[in-house]
Chains A and B, each alone.
Chain A
């Protein structure tokens, strides 16, 4: 099917009517002159009219075709066809897979360099008339001239992010869908089988892949630091490994205390834990912190192998003494949960001295409190006055008995709420930790946490669920002391930050964020969540464990997933670029045709003048 680079130019075909209009117009009003020898003209016309009419028609046809040829050439027509060295102006998205797995070294050569070399060859085929994008593992399609994109390509390093190749191809096709020119996608990738996924859209797709077998790799897949905070400097780390190799690998664990805000660390001279781990296996290591309470950086490292990016993971751990609590023992569910936590040494009963956390009511004397609404709604007013007296900008509003569900957070999950008081802020809603049907249900202000419902089955089904005890633990040990969130993500993931967070600190960098907005980081490591100067949580960014599986997809798998794909070795990537969807540029032939028509027109017109008919 014929295509056009600039189809709007085809509107110019209307110009083809000009010779006809001129012909008709020119014949309208000739001037009249007396000429006695008209009989000779009449005789001449009778003899030569036919030939002259033919010549006129031929001239008209040639002129019309000349305009059509020029307009068509300007519209950039192309025909499907392969193997042409000079391709028609085209659009191409080069998907360059610089994900974690591209950092592996095979036979002493980084895979990324092999991919980069192939990608350079692809860009070498591009001309300035082509629309070219490079879409790397960060998922952003960047457009530029071939030389600009070559520079950009040279600056790319393995990114700790995962690149879902199906998503990348889909995104590339979306980019091309806005182009009038014929488009194609060239994917240069190590073609991990774990990265393959279905792609939407359709269109030519060239997949350039390494011909060699992938190396066997083991990487850290996950770290579980158990319930936080770690109480009394004690904790348990469970780590898991993923990969293709069955070999056991040495692993070491180090716990560094974050000392100076969120940037300084105090590293132990020796690792606190060591062991061996194999792909698909897990290793549990008991840990003891030596540097006291506060935020810590837990660093787990595997012995180095060909892929270094998945050999290290970090998570944040907070170490704190157990909260000393007072509570209303008449509150059966709360009482039961507290006793379980005391038995588990997660809580301690307040003995009359030191900091305390009051569970259920607003504690006297300004200590930390987890406040439930009063069982008798009539006492809500008195509670509100006490809250106001403490400077808490929240108050209990009307009692709502319409069933609702808590929004799903890592802290709470979804639970049915039967009765609740609306929590109303006297100013901007700050410190909302959970909502029910969009209205605040769990809020924090200073060292006071307010719940919209009592922890009773007549108010909510939460006390009957498994997360109830951990929820009470989190209320007493984390939320009331400002530890609001411990989040995990892979580079490039979008993470929804708690409302209270107004900045994210990573190393020396600090990013202002909008509480409740999403946040994305491409850098692996611990990102501390800040509320003012307080650290209220952490976002642990570590590579996606699927990147540790380096096994490559077969050509058959590729074709099954992407039927249009043409799979070629990396060395042929450049050769295949602009040929998968290649279209022969018809501008050259059309311009030659126009030239021939122009010469024919000149010949015919001059013939008219020179020879008459």
Chain B
């Protein structure tokens, strides 16, 4: 149910049902609503920041800002020290979005967004949050080739360019993530953050290899695995021919009979992704398309904070 606009202001829009949320307006309005809601709830979180991390102390020198003086240390040692942070400047982040045909699917068009629509909003929200922190944020969309590239910029107005690119992102045919991930290197010369948003119906070995490459280059990598709830379990008693919209490959089976085996296979696949990624310090998070964006953002940003 779409909330009346009067109610929108009073409620956490980021916690609304994604499908309902998407009906509130265009991507810009919706994304701002999500981010506002998300940030308004953030002050209650024990975490206050994520891109600027404490590294070491150094002796106070004339000209240092008093706000960086470590008063507790002064009390214990009777000397003045200031906190030294690892990255004094803002982060450079690159969003990599999978726009292949498999992403343009939902198990229930009435109740849920397609994976691509959900990923667009999620990516836009993440980008807005990063840009508001003055982090340079860019975007690459790809299917079997790289479709669009938006270089990272820290200006808030850059967000509209990202939004425009996301709006132009049409579902492709097949998926090949490796070229897109290698392209990231060219846009993140310093160590940065790479957020890879995909349903991961791609070649796992090649993809992990590319992600590992990014990791070796010193980038923090976050993989957001987008799943439709209908992909998580098979239902129905009648025999069905399941066809892959990308490859056209099909298989005939009775969902009821195969549900458990499929569930096991899916968990094994997700486990393989998780093990393959985390083994190299790459964060991995599964997000289903019925998850409110606020929760999804929190999942994503917690992971991003941890890797950063």
- Report A's interface with B, CB cutoff 8 A: 26-27, 30-45, 47-48, 52, 608-613
**Could you say which of B103, B241, B254, B263 contacts A32, with CB atoms under 8 Å apart?**
B241
Chain B residues 217 to 249 lying within 8 A of chain A, measured CB to CB, are: 231, 237-247, 249
Which residues of the other chain, B, contact A42 by a CB distance below 8 angstroms? Answer: 249, 251
Chain B residues 236 to 272 lying within 8 A of chain A, measured CB to CB, are: 237-247, 249-254, 256-266, 269
Known contacts A40-B269, A45-B251: A31-B261 contact under CB 8 Å: no
Which residues of the other chain, A, contact B242 by a CB distance below 8 angstroms? Answer: 32-35, 38, 41
Which residues of the other chain, A, contact B254 by a CB distance below 8 angstroms? Answer: 608
Which residues of the other chain, A, contact B252 by a CB distance below 8 angstroms? Answer: 27, 30
Known contacts A36-B105, A36-B231: A30-B241 contact under CB 8 Å: yes
Chain A CB within 8 A of B201 CB? yes
Give A32 to B101 CA distance when docked, in angstroms: 17
Contact indicator A37/B201 (Cβ below 8 Å): yes
Which residues of the other chain, A, contact B199 by a CB distance below 8 angstroms? Answer: 36
Contact indicator A41/B243 (Cβ below 8 Å): no
Contact indicator B241/A36 (Cβ below 8 Å): no
Q: How far is the CB of B100 from chain A (nearest CB, A)?
A: 9
Those 8 A-B pairs whose CB atoms lie nearest each other, nearest first: A612-B260, A36-B102, A38-B244, A35-B242, A30-B239, A32-B241, A44-B265, A48-B261
Give A611 to B201 CA distance when docked, in angstroms: 25
Contact indicator B266/A40 (Cβ below 8 Å): yes
Known contacts A41-B251, A41-B258, A612-B258: A34-B265 contact under CB 8 Å: no
Known contacts A44-B262, A47-B261, A612-B257: A31-B105 contact under CB 8 Å: no
**Could you say which of B244, B257, B261 contacts A36, with CB atoms under 8 Å apart?**
B244
Name which of A26, A37, A48, A608 has the most chain B CB atoms within 10 A of its CB. A37
Give A37 to B266 CA distance when docked, in angstroms: 9
Enumerate 14 A-B pairs (CB-CB under 8 Å) in ascending A order: A26-B239, A30-B239, A32-B242, A33-B241, A34-B242, A34-B244, A34-B245, A35-B105, A35-B231, A35-B244, A38-B244, A41-B262, A41-B265, A612-B260
- Report B's interface with A, CB cutoff 8 A: 101-103, 105, 115, 199, 201, 231, 237-247, 249-254, 256-266, 269
Contact indicator B265/A40 (Cβ below 8 Å): yes
B103 nearest in chain A by CB position: A36
Q: How far is the CB of B131 from chain A (nearest CB, A)?
A: 31
Contact indicator B239/A611 (Cβ below 8 Å): no
Contact indicator A38/B247 (Cβ below 8 Å): yes
Contact indicator A39/B201 (Cβ below 8 Å): yes
Known contacts A44-B261, A48-B261, A52-B257: A36-B245 contact under CB 8 Å: yes
Contact indicator B262/A612 (Cβ below 8 Å): yes
Which residues of the other chain, B, contact A609 by a CB distance below 8 angstroms? Answer: 237, 256-257
Contact indicator B240/A47 (Cβ below 8 Å): no
B251 nearest in chain A by CB position: A41
Known contacts A38-B251, A609-B256: A32-B243 contact under CB 8 Å: yes
Give A42 to B250 CA distance when docked, in angstroms: 8
Q: How far is the CB of A480 from chain B (nearest CB, A)?
A: 101
**Could you say which of A27, A30, A45, A611 contacts B260, with CB atoms under 8 Å apart?**
A611
B259 nearest in chain A by CB position: A612
Give A35 to B242 CA distance when docked, in angstroms: 6
Which residues of the other chain, A, contact B262 by a CB distance below 8 angstroms? Answer: 40-41, 44, 612
Known contacts A36-B199, A612-B260, A612-B262: A31-B240 contact under CB 8 Å: yes
Give A41 to B102 CA distance when docked, in angstroms: 15
Give A40 to B267 CA distance when docked, in angstroms: 10
Contact indicator A38/B240 (Cβ below 8 Å): no
Which residues of the other chain, B, contact A611 by a CB distance below 8 angstroms? Answer: 260
Q: How far is the CB of B264 from chain A (nearest CB, A)?
A: 8
Contact indicator B250/A38 (Cβ below 8 Å): yes
Contact indicator A38/B253 (Cβ below 8 Å): no
Give A52 to B252 CA distance when docked, in angstroms: 13
Q: How far is the CB of B215 from chain A (nearest CB, A)?
A: 25
Contact indicator A33/B201 (Cβ below 8 Å): no
Which residues of the other chain, B, contact A32 by a CB distance below 8 angstroms? Answer: 240-243, 250
Which residues of the other chain, B, contact A38 by a CB distance below 8 angstroms? Answer: 242-244, 247, 249-251
Which residues of the other chain, B, contact A47 by a CB distance below 8 angstroms? Answer: 261, 265
Contact indicator B246/A44 (Cβ below 8 Å): no
B201 nearest in chain A by CB position: A36
Known contacts A34-B105, A47-B265: A39-B260 contact under CB 8 Å: no
Give A612 to B259 CA distance when docked, in angstroms: 5
Give A39 to B201 CA distance when docked, in angstroms: 8
Give A40 to B102 CA distance when docked, in angstroms: 13
Give A31 to B264 CA distance when docked, in angstroms: 24
Which residues of the other chain, A, contact B105 by a CB distance below 8 angstroms? Answer: 34-36
Name which of A31, A44, A609 has the most chain B CB atoms within 10 A of its CB. A44
Give A31 to B260 CA distance when docked, in angstroms: 21
Known contacts A38-B250, A48-B258, A609-B256: A33-B243 contact under CB 8 Å: yes
Q: How far is the CB of A298 from chain B (nearest CB, A)?
A: 95
Which residues of the other chain, B, contact A610 by a CB distance below 8 angstroms? Answer: 260
Contact indicator A44/B258 (Cβ below 8 Å): yes
Beyond A32-B250, A36-B199, A41-B242, 14 additional contacts (C-beta under 8 Å) are A27-B252, A30-B239, A34-B245, A36-B115, A36-B244, A36-B246, A38-B247, A40-B269, A41-B258, A41-B265, A44-B261, A44-B262, A609-B256, A612-B263
Give A48 to B256 CA distance when docked, in angstroms: 14
Give A58 to B249 CA distance when docked, in angstroms: 29
Contact indicator A33/B240 (Cβ below 8 Å): yes
Known contacts A32-B250, A37-B231: A613-B258 contact under CB 8 Å: yes
**Could you say which of B238, B239, B243 contacts A34, with CB atoms under 8 Å apart?**
B243
Give A45 to B262 CA distance when docked, in angstroms: 9
